[in-house]
Each structure stands twice: as structure tokens, then as C-alpha cells.
Amino acid sequence: MKELLRFSYLTVLFFCGTVFFFSCEKEQEPVVPTVTTNSITDITLTTASSGGNVTSDGGATVTARGVCWSTDQNPTTADSKTSSSTGTGSFTCDLTGLTQGTRYYVRAYAANSAGTAYGNQQDFTTVAVKPATLTTTGVSSYTESTAVSGGNITDDGGGNITARGVCWSSASQEPKVTDSKTEEGTGTGTFTSDLTGMDPETTYYIRAYATNSAGTAYGDMVSFTTLAAGQVMDVDGNIYNSVTIGNQVWMAENLRTTKLNDGSAIERIFSYDQTPIYFWYDNDSVTYADPYGALYNWYAAASVKLCPAGWHVPDVDDWNELSDFLGDESVAGGKLKETGTAHWQSPNTDATDDYGFAGLPGGIRLGDFFGLGMEGNYWSSTQDINSTSYGKYRLLYHDNAWMGNGSARKYGGLSIRCLKD
């Protein structure tokens, strides 16, 4: 119902000498309210805040008020809008469902029975998502066909990370997600990737990637070359050749890692404790680490983490299988020893190295160091059944072809040959 404004005025009439006074009222129709638009604040990717102030109701009750917005100028209540109660005074509103990086126009509105009034126009632009910021993790380990890398996303660019991982190529130094890639979920932070299906002795280029609504960003490029077929790498980065003997695959070199394969360090101080320990012969790594490798106590040999992942320290049954395949213990040593006297003391009897095992005389440590050039002593992971203080080992000697079978104090330092799982 239309509301009317009333005002009074005085009417004077003269009739038959008498004065009459009449009070009259005139009705006036209401007008639209008066409203102003607040500045835009708290702008994000998809939201913002605004509001208004209804300073006059125009002579009728304000039944609706709020803000309306559009990507076109002079938005009306036919566009997107909020509703913020009724009446006069200040109010605030949250604008939602916006598109990132987009310019919007906003006006407050107020409605009464006379119609809808709009405040002054404000404009703003929502925050735009930028590409993510990230780095590529260097290759921590690799084989002839696999590698381990990853990345660290330090800034999401203002948008959600919807995909991340590592991509690689042997043909381009700027690999992209259209090349081979891993998929490692979403979000920021660090991640690790296992790269598979690579070719041996091939140089690959790697980049971490992260995708948000602004697109896909890449970390720095790192490169590496896969191992040759039959090679294996330990956690220190030492690379070993391997040989197949019967149904077994053995390292063709003595182990020389200073860490377990989880990256934890192996102690180097002589001790009788049940702690994995390694030594260099005569405590001289420069002279003896290559080719003789390190000497380890039995507690290191018994650790499932001493050899590279996918390899292990052989037990007595593994050594027995090797000996049986080669004939028996009386000839197995000769077939495993490196030929010549570059490392073995003369006469290096019956050394034929039939399969490339290249057994070496790394000596032993039992308190003192001795035997370098004369004997190669290799731990098994098996404890002596007759004494918990001893572990089983196999022996190659310079003046005969035997593969000896013995027990040594667990604190002693012997060589290690790893066997593939």
C-alpha cells in the first residue's frame, strides 16, 4: 500500500459575518532511500567485503538492502547480490563466488515502497593466482633403470596445488609433464618420487613440477646417468659391478660403504659392543679403500641395512650354494680369486677367476690388522651355532684353491660381498 506524507495548513472562511477556522492535511508520496557504498576490503582470490550506509529511508520503511556486483558497470539487483536485513544505518556484506584475477563493479542498494536506490559505484580486482615456486631434489640413488628424486614446493602461488611430481626425459633438458612423470598427490612441501622404466647408461634430465590454476611450474633441472647393466650403487654413491654365478648375482667388488642404506652412519671406533663398525685396513682409506674395500664387524654384517636396497649379506647357505656350484670347497677358492699378483701375494695358487668374482685379499682385523695380500675373509650373516661370540665366514688364501669355512670373533673386521635378493 502506498504510504503518504501528511502536512497541515490553516483555512479561514467567512460566512454570514462569522469567521470559521479549518485545519487541513495534504498527503505526500515517499521517495527512494539514500544510500552510499563502502570501499572494498579483504580481497582474496574468490571473495571480498563491502557494504553500505542507508542515510535516509525516503519516508518509507527500507525493506531490503545489501550490495550487488557484476563484471559490467552499474550493477543492479538483477546481478549477483547480498541481502543484509532492513532499515537504515550501516551494514557490511561478504561477496563470494568470485573469479580470481577479475575486475568487479559494486554498488550498495536499498529498497522501500518507492523503489530501489543505488549507492556510488566501487570497483576492485580479485587476487590472481601465480605459478608455484619449487625446487628439484637431486637424485639420491639410481640403478640401471630406476632413480629416486623429488621436490619441495615452497609457495603455492596463491592457489591450490592440484598436481605435483617429477618429470624426466633423455631427449630434452627441459622435461615437461607431457614426458615421463610421477604423480605425488597435491599440496605444498616436500615429496619423494621413484622414477622407473629408464634405459641403462643413459643421461636423463629431471625437473620437479607443480600445477595450480595459473598453470604448471617447474623446478631447476638436474641430470644423471643411469648405471650400466649389472651395476649397483650404495648410499655413499660408490658403484659396484656384479656377476652372475649359477642362480646367484654377486657384487664383483668388496663393499666400501660408510653408511647403512637408510643413510645412518656406521661407527668407526673399535669396540666390543654390539654396534655396526667399519675399518679401513691400517686405518688408511687413501691407500686401501680401493680396491680392498672396508672391513666390517659381524654386527654390521648381520644388519639388514648394510648392503644397498635389494641386496644382502649372504648367510652360510648362500655361500654353500656358491661353493657347490663351483664344484666344492677344494676348488671354489681358485675359481673366485682375482688372477695375477697385482693384489695377491705370490704364488696365488690356481687363481682362475672363472666368473669375474675378482676375490681380493683384504686382510682382517682382530685387534691388529694382518693378512693383506694373503687372505680374503668374507663374513656371512650367520652366527656360529657353538658360540654367540662368533660369526661364520669364508676364506680365500693365496697359496691354495680352497674356499675355507671358519668362525671369527664378532668384533673382528672382515670384508663383505653383497648378494642380490
The pLDDT confidence band at residue 177, using thresholds 50, 70 and 90, is very high
User: Taking the CB of residue 388, how many other CB atoms lie within 10 A of it?
Assistant: 9
pTM (2 d.p.): 0.69
User: Can you give the residue ranges of every domain in the chain?
Assistant: 35-125, 133-225, 233-420
d(CA 276, CA 265): 9
- What is the pLDDT, as a whole number, of residue 400? 96
Residue 24 has pLDDT above 90, yes or no: no
Residue 44 contacts by C-beta under 8 Å, 6 or more apart in sequence? 126, 127
Query: If you average pLDDT over residues 140-148, what whole number do you get?
Result: 91
Spatial contact of 399 and 340, defined as CB atoms under 8 Å apart? no
Buried b (16+ CB within 10 A) or exposed e, 171-208: eeeebebeebbbebeeebeebebebeebeeeeebbbbb
Could you report the per-residue pLDDT of 291-314, keeping only the tens digit for each?
Answer: 999 999 999 999 999 999 899 999
- Work out whether the CA dihedral 375, 320, 244, 380 comes out positive or negative: negative
**pLDDT of 7 higher than 80:** no
Task: Give the whole-angstrom CA distance, residue 356 versus residue 2.
Answer: 107
CATH class label, 133-225:
mainly beta
pLDDT band at 27 (very low <50, low <70, confident <90, very high): low
Over its C-alpha atoms, the chain yields an Rg (Å, rounded) of 42
pLDDT band at 84 (very low <50, low <70, confident <90, very high): confident
- In this prediction, residue 10 has a pLDDT band, given cuts at 50, 70 and 90, of very low
pLDDT digits over 223-254, tens only? Answer: 999 999 999 999 999 999 999 999 999 999 99
Q: Are 379 and 296 contacting, i.e. CB atoms less than 8 angstroms apart?
A: yes
3-class DSSP string for the chain: CCCCEEEEEEEEEEECCEEEEEEEEEEECCCCCEEEECCCECCCCCCEEEEEEEEECCCCCCCEEEEEEECCCCCCCCCEECCCCCCCEEEEEEECCCCCCCEEEEEEEEEECCEEEECCCEEEECCCCCCCEEEEEEEEEECCCCEEEEEEEEECCCCCCCEEEEEEECCCCCCCCCCEECCCCCCCEEEEEEECCCCCCCEEEEEEEEEECCEEEECCCEEEECCCCCCEECCCCCEECEEEECCEEEECCCCCCCECCCCCECECCCCCCCCCEEECHHHCHHHHHHHHCCEECHHHHCCCCCCCCCEECCCHHHHHHHHHHHCCHHHHHHHHECCCCCCCCCCCCCCCCCCCCCECCEEEEECEEEEECCEEEEEEEEECCCCCCEEEEEEEECCCCCEEEEEEECCCEEECCCEEC
Mean pLDDT score, 272-281: 93
Would you state the pLDDT for residue 8?
Answer: 42
Residue 2 has pLDDT above 60, yes or no: no
Helix-helix angle 329-336:316-326, to 10 degrees: 90
pLDDT at 140: 85
Flag whether pLDDT at 418 surpasses 70.
yes
C-alpha cell at 353: 677367476
Residue percentage of the chain with pLDDT more than 70? 94
Domain covering 35-125, topology: Immunoglobulin-like (2.60.40)
Question: What pLDDT shows up at residue 25?
Answer: 52
State yes or no: cis peptide before 291, omega within 30 of 0.
Answer: yes
